[in-house]
Structure 1
Amino acid sequence: MDFSFLEFYQQEFYDGLWTTISVSLFALVFSLILGTVIAVLRISGVKALAGFGTAYVEFIRNTPLVAQIFFVFFALPAVGIKLSQFAVGTIGLSIYTSSYIAEVIRAGIQSVPCGQMEAARSSGMTYVQAMWYVILPQAFKLIVPPLGNQFINLVKNSSVLAVIAGGELMYFTDVATTEADVTPVYLFVAVVYLLLTVPLSLLVHFLERRWLGRKSS
């Protein structure tokens, strides 16, 4: 195993790692917000809104992430909207991940007893207020493991930016393999991704134990 490539591509890997972390964090926030909105629409009881939420989830989940990234990358400039590769990657990842997050949150909301919503509404809260202050806080505590898994998948899926020269970790990995042995390069990058995702997994387990412990006590 020859890891001498690290000497020549050290700065590139630093830049790629920073881009991967940055786009993952931005996409995490946006996908969580968008996924929550879609989940609420799906259970709103309004046919038009529920239909839109269902169509969104089914379409996004059943089309490849690469195709969605390419669509954003090429379609938006065609209508006069020019974005950086970073922005394209963030938008693509946010939209794709939000469809999965929406289903996770919907399941969490439906796990909360119906009486919680009825009690909140009877106390004078609007539907939105009841959802925000009563239902969603309980739902999020129930869905920590699957939600954490989606965040971990998001970090790994950020590697798709390499197809549009997004400047993330996998892009510079492909650059390094043009002059170095493939095996040590990809082994090194696999370890880096592990260093990114394992702490996330440990954090999810910590939150799960903490909140479940509070619930049982």
Structure 2
Amino acid sequence: MNFIEAYSSDHLTFLLDGFLVTLYVAFISIVLSFMFGGVIGTLRYANIPIVSNILAVAVETIRNLPLLLIIFFTYFALPEIGIKLEITAAAITALTIFESAMLSEIIRSGLKSVEKGQTEAARSSGLSYVQTLFLIIMPQALRRMVPPIVSQFISLLKDTSLAVVIALPELIHNAQIINGQSADSSYFFPIFLLAAFMYFAVNYSLSLAARKLELKQM
């Protein structure tokens, strides 16, 4: 283990560049998957004929596929039908597809967890179905969704490392390159220890923020 050489300024800068790519891909994927997952989950909760059934099949199919397979498909298979994405766009697309399906189920379950009496009381007071959904049901459901949604976001951040298979220059990819520069692998432990700390710092911060938010809403 050679900590001094492993933690040279060039190596640390290169590792930080990879981590910034990880955070960028994760952030964009989180925003997009929350948007798409919210729409899909709400539509499934609304139980619209045909639409809900189609979405249910799509969601269950995606949820039961390995994320790695979706990444491969997005980067290697889509060009076969004329859709060629560069590496970062392919990683974001694959993560968004997978996480949208996961989040849609969390959101649908959260909406269903609100007691039916709330809906009946709102409708009897003159509110429309849409007003009831967004003014009464959604605010209550969101409080219950915070822990599982944050947990899913943490998983998404960690899952960005799978994009190393398509050479996305993220944290793990750059850590592997640095490790490859040591003939005796003396950089392995220091570099991957630092990479692990970076993941932990961000994910633990997200967990603390979610816990505080949950306590405020109680």
Question: Which TM-score applies when normalising by structure 2?
Answer: 0.89
RMSD (Å), alpha carbons: 1.8
**1:151-166 equivalent positions in 2, closer than 5 A:** 151-166=153-168
CA distance in 2, matches of 1:96, 1:112: 26
Q: Which runs of 5+ in 2 are unaligned?
A: none
CA distance in 1, matches of 2:73, 2:29: 17
1:5 is matched with which residue?
Answer: 6
The alignment partner of 2:79 has SS state of: helix
**Pair 1:184-2:190 in alignment:** yes
Deviation at 1:76, TM superposition (A): 2.4
Deviation at 1:6, TM superposition (A): 2.7
CA distance in 1, matches of 2:51, 2:19: 39
User: Equivalent pairs: percent with the same residue?
Assistant: 38
Question: Which TM-score applies when normalising by structure 1?
Answer: 0.90
CA distance in 1, matches of 2:123, 2:92: 37
CA distance in 1, matches of 2:195, 2:74: 27
The alignment partner of 1:177 has SS state of: helix
Q: Which consecutive aligned stretches of 4+ in structure 1 deviate over 4 angstroms post-superposition? A: 119-126
Deviations 1:3-34 (A, max 9, x none): 22231422221211111111111111111111
2:217 is matched with which residue?
Answer: 211
CA distance in 2, matches of 1:170, 1:31: 23
The alignment partner of 2:73 has SS state of: helix
CA distance in 1, matches of 2:31, 2:121: 30
One-letter amino acid of the counterpart of residue 6, structure 1: Y
Per mean C-alpha deviation after superposition, the further-off stretch among 10-19 and 199-208 is 10-19
**1:119-134 equivalent positions in 2, closer than 5 A:** 119-122=121-124, 125-134=127-136
CA distance in 2, matches of 1:127, 1:74: 44
The alignment partner of 1:112 has SS state of: coil
Per mean C-alpha deviation after superposition, the further-off stretch among 187-196 and 175-184 is 175-184
The alignment partner of 1:82 has SS state of: coil
The alignment partner of 2:88 has SS state of: helix
CA distance in 1, matches of 2:94, 2:64: 14
For residue 137 of structure 2, the aligned residue among 128, 135, 138 is 135
For residue 96 of structure 1, the aligned residue among 92, 95, 98 is 98
1:215 is matched with which residue?
Answer: none
The alignment partner of 2:204 has SS state of: helix
One-letter amino acid of the counterpart of residue 2, structure 1: N
Q: Which runs of 5+ in 1 are unaligned?
A: 213-217
